[in-house]
């Protein structure tokens, strides 16, 4: 799987850090203690600025001067368009319009600190840059847990934030609960709520803090609801056949496949879908984390089989595709 982690030729380091454990790509800096936001920026190689620079294009024809000399075509200013430029490497990152406001990397961390008020209790766990530095990401662990059952089946609460410098997207923050024993990302939409909040690039600390409070409220509300729902699901017993049926419904890619499943015509579904269901069902049956009291033969176990398939079994084109699928719900 391609990682696309930025490599800074000036420092000779990959722009990524994680706490205590190496990421799957094995790149970047490993630190033993949770850093402050200021330290995390440096560890992750995100201590650079981005500016907007006027955008020019080259004329396609040459002119003849008054004395008959050839004059090369002049550069032509492209109106209302700018290149975003990384100042430490002088690399262009993208093309944006005149109203685009750059959110610096430090501002993204300030936004994160505001979520829990001055950074108390928030633990920066990973951060990094992709490509030439046009997209950055931060993962932070929040205080407290979602506890399922009476044992050690606990889910940690994370907020993931990503923003871009190339005009391709807004600041995006996602509440991502992760079950410790299997590292499954247990994203779930509850009622009319979503686990993702998107915020336009804008200046002004007031709006950033207001949006930060909005996300924190979302995380608290979701985690409280999830704890109750997950614990209720551990009490709902399901057979292996029902687990497979639930997996089929959860992974169903389109209405045509759903109609075939409703008719009981499983032999008519695509081979790709059948193999996907087989892989997820196998994970449900043999994974060690599916044999716990909270998961074995329960609705919570069936749910974890689906999230575990996406996290631990499915193959992705690259790390960005995996991120989009698991965290952003794309």
The structural domains of the chain, with segments of one domain joined by +, span 7-48+101-227, 236-328
Strand order, beta sheet including 50-58? 50-58, 75-86, 91-97
SS3 41: helix
Q: Which residues contact 202 (CB under 8 A, 6 or more apart)?
A: 101
Element containing residue 178 per DSSP (H, E): strand 171-179
Quote the pLDDT of residue 151. Answer: 67
Between residues 89 and 149, the one the model is more confident about: 89
Cα angle 41, 330, 99; round to 5: 60
Cα distances from 178 to residues 31, 73, 283, in angstroms, run 21, 57, 17
pLDDT tens-digit series, residues 93-113: 999 988 888 888 988 887 777
Strands 29-31 and 16-19, bridge-based pairing:
parallel
SS3 276: helix
pLDDT tens-digit series, residues 295-322: 899 999 998 888 888 878 888 776 666 6
Alpha-carbon distance of 305 to 303, in angstroms, equals 5
SS3 109: helix
pTM: 0.66
Tokens 């690399």 sit on residue: 91
Quote the pLDDT of residue 227. Answer: 81
Query: What is the rounded average pLDDT for all residues in the chain?
Result: 79
């Amino acid at each position: 799987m391609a990682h696309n982690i930025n490599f800074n030729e000036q420092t000779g380091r990959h722009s990524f850090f994680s706490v205590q454990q190496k990421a799957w790509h094995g790149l970047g800096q490993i630190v033993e203690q949770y850093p402050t936001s200021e330290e995390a920026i440096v560890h992750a190689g995100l201590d650079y600025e981005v500016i907007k620079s006027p955008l020019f294009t080259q004329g396609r024809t040459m002119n003849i001067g008054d004395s008959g000399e050839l004059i090369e075509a002049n550069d032509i200013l492209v109106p209302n368009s700018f290149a975003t430029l990384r100042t430490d490497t002088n690399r262009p990152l993208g093309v944006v319009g005149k109203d685009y406001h750059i959110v610096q990397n430090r501002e993204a961390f300030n936004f994160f600190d505001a979520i829990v008020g001055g950074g108390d209790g928030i633990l920066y766990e990973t951060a990094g840059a992709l490509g030439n530095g046009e997209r950055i990401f931060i993962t932070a662990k929040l205080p407290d847990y979602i506890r399922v059952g009476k044992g050690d089946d606990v889910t940690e609460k994370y907020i993931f934030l990503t923003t871009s410098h190339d005009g391709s997207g807004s600041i995006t923050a996602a509440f991502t609960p992760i079950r410790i024993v299997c590292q499954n990302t247990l994203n779930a939409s509850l009622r009319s709520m979503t686990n993702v909040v998107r915020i336009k690039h804008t200046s002004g600390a007031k709006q950033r803090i207001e949006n930060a409070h909005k996300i924190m409220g979302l995380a608290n509300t979701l985690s409280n609801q999830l704890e109750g729902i997950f614990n209720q699901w551990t009490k709902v017993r399901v057979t292996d056949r029902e687990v497979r049926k639930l997996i089929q419904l959860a992974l169903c890619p389109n209405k045509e496949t759903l109609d075939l499943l409703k008719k009981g015509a499983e032999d008519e579904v695509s081979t790709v879908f059948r193999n996907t269901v087989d892989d997820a069902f196998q994970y449900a049956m043999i994974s060690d984390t599916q044999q716990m009291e909270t998961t074995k033969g329960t609705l919570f176990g069936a749910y974890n089989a689906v999230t575990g398939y996406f996290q631990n079994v499915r193959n992705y084109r690259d790390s960005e595709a995996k991120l989009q699928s698991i965290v952003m719900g794309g």
